[in-house]
Structure 1
Amino acid sequence: MTRNNTVLVLGATGGIGGEMARQLRQAGWTVRALKRGMAQAALQEDGTTWMRGDAMDRQAVMQAAKGCSVIVHAVNPPGYRGWAQLVLPMLDNTIAAAKAEGATIVLPGTVYNYGPDAFGELLAEDAPQHPVTRKGAIRVELERRLEEASRHGARVLIVRAGDFFGPKAGNNWFSQGLVKAGLPVKAVSYPGRVDTAHQWSYLPDVARTMIALLARRDRLEPFACFHMAGHRDADATQMSGAIRKVVARRTGTEPRVSAFAWWLLTLASPFVTTLREMREMRYLWQTPVLMDNAKLVAFLGHEPYTPLDEAVEASLEGMGCLGTAPAAVAA
């Protein structure tokens, strides 16, 4: 197993990948990332070494991973396009590189693996995985391949969390459903049912959690999986309330809360891939989804946590929803 603080972040221009790269640099790691179209490797002012390549190119991934002890696999097709064709080949390239280097693969996980049968109580790491969506089935296969890789030279760390939100817009419900990135918040469009619990995870907290676990990776089993509690919206009002409070304080206008227009999404989904994939996830808003972080707390002693109002304000400001330009987010 390679032992150093050199890491390759795949998906470093995205939300969780970018946050991981930023925090890893701050923690003293040497950070590499892939970028298409570059003539040669280049060290940016932020300290990341950008290397020419694509996550779909196995040789490029293996070359970039040379000498790395960790590979953060945070790459996803933009707008959910090409999931079935791209997601698994990209992971296979990461696995090949990790085996060659004896590296640890870090995967930001989701609840897509689980079907409604798992949501009757707090969701533990070993809950049965019976997905009811295409993305869920792919997520299960991702983890199956990673578990297999952990028996053949690679090591794996998976941190599953609830719906992501953070300062950088991306493929998430916060910036594509509740509010719209780059626009003033005049209304909060909430997709869930009243009194149905939902779980949110602030991207900087997710990154802090994964980096804290990496700092103790010598104590992890070859295939390690943890759940985060994140922000638990027990009655489906806390997230909307936090957005309204922040917007009212910053702009003097309090947005209203309305029900998400599922009917409109249904009409448009045959023509727009992103909307079709969002519609497929509707079941996650119709049943309580809360995760058990007991294993994480037992291992780390705590779970990194940013107060909800603070996290929401940073997210809205970063997305340019508070009358200011979007805050710069490190790639």
Structure 2
Amino acid sequence: MSTPLHVVLGAGGGIGSAVVHELARRGHRTRAVQRGPALDLPPGVTTRAADVSTTEGARAACADATVVYHCAQPPYHRWPQEFPQLTDAVIEGAAAAGAKLVFADNLYLYGPIDGPVSERSPRRPTSRKGAVRKEMADRLLQAHKSGRLNVTIGQASDYYGPGGTKSVIGAAVVPAVLDGRTVNWPGRLDVPHTVHYLPDIAAALVTLGERDAADGRTFVLPAAPAPTPRQFIRQIAAAAGSRTRMRGTTKPLMRLVGLSNPAARELLDIWYQFSHPWTVDDTLYRLTFGHAEVTAPDAAVAATVAWHRTHTARPSGG
């Protein structure tokens, strides 16, 4: 009997790369799939270049897989146009291989709610991206219900960590701290906001891939207690050895900035996540799989700053 093969789609992204490293750490036979050349892979991991937005590409990428981790995504501003088709192709590829499919999801499908987000929260998205995420989650769970393939979904909030450059934190906050610039946080600075550390996301997703108890279910992934953005930015500054200025951006100002900045414009779609407390309840995961260790925030922030200092920091520009 051949050794089970774990295939990671979107292995070049922050979550995909973290999943590849976690699989290798646990000793799993692993294939990393991405469009471009593979970088910074652990020893023993094989690679495959494929466009998994097409059925042909997804089938080739998933061939012989036991578990497939769907961490691929189109550019943020192209989600409504491209994400559903990509996910349909991934479903086809995983099903053709007879593989279990683990989907790395976020929390957009819940929309604005009172209290912590959990799997029991109403799924009433108010944003275009939330509607897309709900559509994909529904398709995935229906594919499981129909017996087409085993599916499980893991959900996380805004992430940070080594390799994480596509989130608000990785794209804007950490580089600003390291460059000595003012950090412009979208929304309010003094309301709790859950942040997930990439290696913790990866560890939880791999557990979903390993455990039959995850099949057909959605889990909010474990996270450390939610800091306020002000607390979190100060923690980053302390790890960087700097004193950082910060300010919360109002929605009207973000709308103005968005006229010339597509990334800023896209945040208006999910503004509720930054204008009110945005926290998670990960009880179901912990009850199902036992106590879940998450990285201590000080250690997680220090590792993140060290990675960005090496890979993305620019000389101070004031």
State the TM-score, normalized to the length of structure 1: 0.85
Change (3 A) 1:46 1:85: farther
RMSD of aligned C-alpha atoms?
Answer: 2.5
What is aligned with 1:130?
124
- Quote the sequence identity (%): 30
**How many Å separate the matches in 1 of 2:127 and 2:159?**
19
**How many Å separate the matches in 2 of 1:270 and 1:257?**
22
Cα deviation digits, residues 96-132 of structure 1 (max 9, x gap) = 122222211111121111121x2x1222202111111
The number of residues matched between the two structures is: 310
What is aligned with 1:147?
141
8 Å Cα contact 1:244-1:255 kept in structure 2: yes
What is aligned with 1:208?
203
Q: Which amino acid aligns with 1:274?
A: A
SS at match of 2:281: coil
What is aligned with 2:163?
168
201-210 vs 60-69, which moves further: 60-69
**How many Å separate the matches in 2 of 1:37 and 1:245?**
35
Q: How does 1:229-248 map to 2 (within 5 A)?
A: 229-248=222-241
8 Å Cα contact 1:188-1:255 kept in structure 2: yes
What is aligned with 1:180?
175
**How many Å separate the matches in 1 of 2:200 and 2:72?**
19
- From 66, 77, 102, give the equivalent of 1:106: 102
Change (3 A) 1:3 1:154: farther
Deviation at 1:189, TM superposition (A): 2.8
* Greater share of residues in helix: 2
Deviation at 1:236, TM superposition (A): 4.2
263-272 vs 48-57, which moves further: 263-272
What is aligned with 1:46?
43
Deviation at 1:191, TM superposition (A): 2.6
**How many Å separate the matches in 2 of 1:261 and 1:195?**
13
196-205 vs 123-132, which moves further: 123-132
* Runs of 5+ unmatched residues, structure 2: 314-318
Change (3 A) 1:219 1:35: closer
**How many Å separate the matches in 1 of 2:297 and 2:88?**
36
Deviation at 1:201, TM superposition (A): 0.2
Change (3 A) 1:139 1:296: same
**How many Å separate the matches in 1 of 2:197 and 2:231?**
14
SS at match of 1:34: strand
Q: How does 1:10-21 map to 2 (within 5 A)?
A: 10-21=9-20
What is aligned with 2:218?
225
Q: Which amino acid aligns with 2:81?
A: Q
